[in-house]
Structure 1
Amino acid sequence: MSVTDGESCILSCSITAEFFNSQPSRKVTWKNAELRLIRNEFRDLFLEVKLPKLTNKYLLKGIVVHKKFIKEGKATINFPEQKLMLLISNAPTSQLFSFLKTMYVKMAVQGSEPKVDIRARLLSNKEKSIDEVSPVTVKDLNKLSDKHQKNASPLSGNNDTTPKTRKRNSSDVRNIKNSKRKRSLVMELSPNLLTEEQKVVVQAALNGKNIFFTGSAGTGKSHLLRQILGVLPPDVTVATASTGVAACQIGGITLHSFAGVGTGKASVQQCIQQASRPNVLQGWRRCRHLIMDEISMVDGRFFEKLERVARAVRGNDKPFGGIQLILCGDFFQLPPVSREYADYDKSRKATFCFQSSAWEKCQLESYELQEVHRQRDPEFVSILQNIRIGRVTEEISERLTATLSNQLEEGGILATRLCSHTKDADQINQSRLVELQGEGKTFTALDSDIQLASYLDRATPVASELVLKVGSQVMLVKNLDVTKGLVNGARGVITKFTPEGGNPVVRFKAKLEVPIRAEKWVVKAVGGVTLTRRQIPLRLAWAFSIHKSQGLTLDCVEMSLSRVFEAGQAYVALSRARALKSLRIIDFSASQVRAHPDVLRFYARFRRALRERLACQPVAIPRRLV
């Protein structure tokens, strides 16, 4: 199976059909259904519903689409004239989004096609076969754009003729909102392309193989993971990560929470008993695809214990009880921290997952992403690749030492200091906040369950309480507008608070001054419970810990590496910067740069096996994954 251009017109999902042409209304559910966009010889657009023993088609005219839960693989198509409602569920999210976009475009441009008169319809051969709808083309997009421009309100965009002194009425506002919505729909139609190496990984995931993909910082591992999540059926796919914040970024749950075994300190038998609780057991048995992000930070002993638990609770002796594993991470970055032994036996260090017997059992098909997207400067990329494996030449040392003279401060925005210890970063932030003049303004998070505020503190990148002052150095912790540079990690400074609502106004390095409003984070907890937190998407950014910076891209960063204590920590810190000119190292020393010897040996074996596999079995690359 592959996801190609034409499959934006086909969708595999579960369907519940609700018929309103009888009293009471009647509901029928099919777990396996296929939706297809088709046309008849008169170019009328239909939705074909192919069921195990039945195929129906419905004219796409006057329909209403509800897509509030599209991120959960759900949508509803209402056919008022036919008194029918189709409830779509368990659809791969990216395919569902692509399918609905294609349906929208084809319906929107249908009016521009020549109409067939009634006489021609009566004389036609009704048995003539139907045609499948073609994917969206550039011609379709041009038609759609022209149609929106003709129908655009004179109050929208550059054509706004409303006098500046006149207050807009509700009709004006509604027209502007509709115009913006139409423009955004047109913009969203451009496909989210993957690189050729990323397509191969997605194809392997679709083929049901256990896979592990890795790559240096900035190669798009998180982006690729989200694409994989988008092509798998959500009801049987579980996204997990080793930390709460990493899990939140992919809309998942921590690995420990999903497993239902607490910290994993207990024996295997006790862990099996904990995982056999009804609400946890249901999740284990329903899961067919298990994603683990930041696998490098998962302790090898815990990974092995988890594999044994999976086999026991699922009653299946295949590795991980027959669940497909999709693992992602870079073992050259931060190593695992063992929850099992950290409290009472600090001499027992954590092990890597690849050192466990379970790793070999799973027969993972491995891939390494090579193309770096975060840094564009070839010199800096080369330096980081050497730092990653613990190699520091005299030339590299001189180049990094020279960054001490970089002037990063601009427009009142200071460089973020990366610290090796979290408590150091917290202390710097609080002391600098106290030094600022004026009253602090407190923003309290609105949580769906205040009893679980501490859990949400760990699972989301925002605190339950945030104190800000004018002049506070802050960092954006959520993508608000990628095209304008308002992305996770963007740096800025508080310039004022809005008169209405008191929201902080931030001047960013991207030369924008923007009022920041509360955003919502959705977190999945044990037993399928969904928690939400609404909070201002900012953090104090005079300082940040290296551990919490993993996955971020920082506009201007300063670091002291003298207290680095883990292998890979210096590499993580350095790779947060976009370029050498946006980086300042206070006390660079080559002795602080090191890679774990076990990781070096693992990657040597890994790359040798990868070359042998690719030489024996060339992988066919699909033309384009949507």
Structure 2
Amino acid sequence: MYDCLGNNIQWRSSFNLPGGRTAHSRFEIPLQTNESSMTNMSKQSGAAKLIRKAKLLIWDEVPMAKRQTIETVDRSFRDIMDIDKPFAGKVMVFGGDFRQVLPVVPKSTRAETVNASLVNSYLWPLMGKIQFTRNMRARTDPTFSDFLLRVGNGEQPTIRDNLIRLPEQLTVKYGSDGNAEQSLIIKISPSLQENASAAKYVTERGILASRNEHVDKLNENLITMLPGESKTSLVLTLQMMTPTTIIKKNNINTLTPNGLPTHRCSDK
């Protein structure tokens, strides 16, 4: 998912907590895991020494991790500690919401995605479950909070093919000109020209999009609505040649890699 600055949004505790790390970085988990894989930690490594000293480990957003990844850590903990217990007896706190994003399995069926989830792991029956039902971020909007719970619990009525109909108060109707993007921008950022220089106004608003091309289109519409003259900062590039192809400037202009804003190359 991307915001209107083209940034790839990853809600991870590694970014939010002081000293936080991703699970793959901390436990040296290989990118490809299976039913017998192990982490790259050796018993003599600094990471293994840290695990031996640890009393409690916190792993957030665990529903997004494949069960094979979590089981890989379990096997490695048993090997490092020489204790044949789940995670070698270490206290593990897993956080996350199964109503959100499950593990991403490319080109998979629904059954394959569910099979990759933690709930199908041999570890799941051994875990104690604590459930939270109050949405703290949406506590000032109980109607929206209840709607999210209905969707997550599969209780929201569907139209067809498991598609749900959004409540009318959550939708933005087309304008008279039929420009959906323009109507959305006006709804989210009313009086944009008068408040464009106010930091509080700008930081309290945002539009999320699922694809970079949608982000670029929204950004273009937003820029045309901002006061002042627009300026383009050109990127200086060198023509790249390989034995089989030449990467030309026009081709580079079409690339939209994650984390980089839309760009245009200089003629020089």
User: In 1, Cα distance between the equivalents of 2:86 and 2:94?
Assistant: 14
Matched, 1:404 2:178: no
Matched, 1:278 2:75: no
TM-score, structure 2 as length reference = 0.58
Identity of aligned residues (%): 18
User: In 2, Cα distance between the equivalents of 1:441 and 1:371?
Assistant: 48
User: In 2, Cα distance between the equivalents of 1:284 and 1:433?
Assistant: 49
User: In 2, Cα distance between the equivalents of 1:358 and 1:388?
Assistant: 23
Residue identity in the other structure for 2:124: W
Change (3 A) 1:320 1:438: same
Q: How do residues 304-323 of structure 1 correspond to structure 2 at under 5 angstroms?
A: 304-323=71-90
Q: How do residues 55-454 of structure 1 correspond to structure 2 at under 5 angstroms?
A: 245-251=12-18, 252-265=20-33, 268=36, 271-272=38-39, 274-276=40-42, 278-338=45-105, 342=106, 349=113, 351-361=116-126, 363-364=127-128, 366-375=129-138, 376-393=140-157, 397-400=166-169, 403-404=172-173, 407-412=187-192, 416-421=206-211, 423-428=212-217, 437-440=230-233
Change (3 A) 1:358 1:393: closer
Change (3 A) 1:393 1:308: same
Aligned length: 196
Tell me by how many angstroms 1:299 deviates: 0.8
Report if aligned partners of 1:299, 1:352 keep a CA contact under 8 Å in 2.
yes
Q: How do residues 492-531 of structure 1 correspond to structure 2 at under 5 angstroms?
A: none
Report if aligned partners of 2:33, 2:72 keep a CA contact under 8 Å in 1.
no
User: In 1, Cα distance between the equivalents of 2:122 and 2:135?
Assistant: 32
Structure 2: 5+ residue runs without aligned partners?
1-9, 159-164, 175-185, 197-201, 236-257, 264-268
Tell me by how many angstroms 1:432 deviates: 5.7
Report if aligned partners of 1:289, 1:325 keep a CA contact under 8 Å in 2.
yes
Tell me by how many angstroms 1:275 deviates: 1.7
Higher strand proportion (structure 1 or 2): 1
- For each residue in 1:61-87, what CA deviation from the matched residue of structure 2 results, as whole angstroms up to 9, or x when unmatched? xxxxxxxxxxxxxxxxxxxxxxxxxxx
Tell me by how many angstroms 1:429 deviates: 6.2
User: In 1, Cα distance between the equivalents of 2:54 and 2:170?
Assistant: 50
Change (3 A) 1:279 1:397: closer
Structure 1: 5+ residue runs without aligned partners?
1-242, 443-461, 469-626
User: In 2, Cα distance between the equivalents of 1:244 and 1:397?
Assistant: 24
User: In 2, Cα distance between the equivalents of 1:434 and 1:377?
Assistant: 31
Change (3 A) 1:429 1:275: farther
Residue identity in the other structure for 1:262: P
Residue identity in the other structure for 2:41: A
Secondary structure at the counterpart of residue 367 of structure 1: coil
Counterpart in 2 of 1:124?
Answer: none
Change (3 A) 1:264 1:281: farther
Which of the pair has more CA radius of gyration? 1
Residue identity in the other structure for 1:438: K
Report if aligned partners of 2:57, 2:90 keep a CA contact under 8 Å in 1.
yes
- For each residue in 1:167-223, what CA deviation from the matched residue of structure 2 results, as whole angstroms up to 9, or x when unmatched? xxxxxxxxxxxxxxxxxxxxxxxxxxxxxxxxxxxxxxxxxxxxxxxxxxxxxxxxx
Tell me by how many angstroms 1:431 deviates: 5.1
Report if aligned partners of 1:441, 1:467 keep a CA contact under 8 Å in 2.
no
Tell me by how many angstroms 1:409 deviates: 2.4
Tell me by how many angstroms 1:353 deviates: 0.8
User: In 1, Cα distance between the equivalents of 2:218 and 2:168?
Assistant: 29
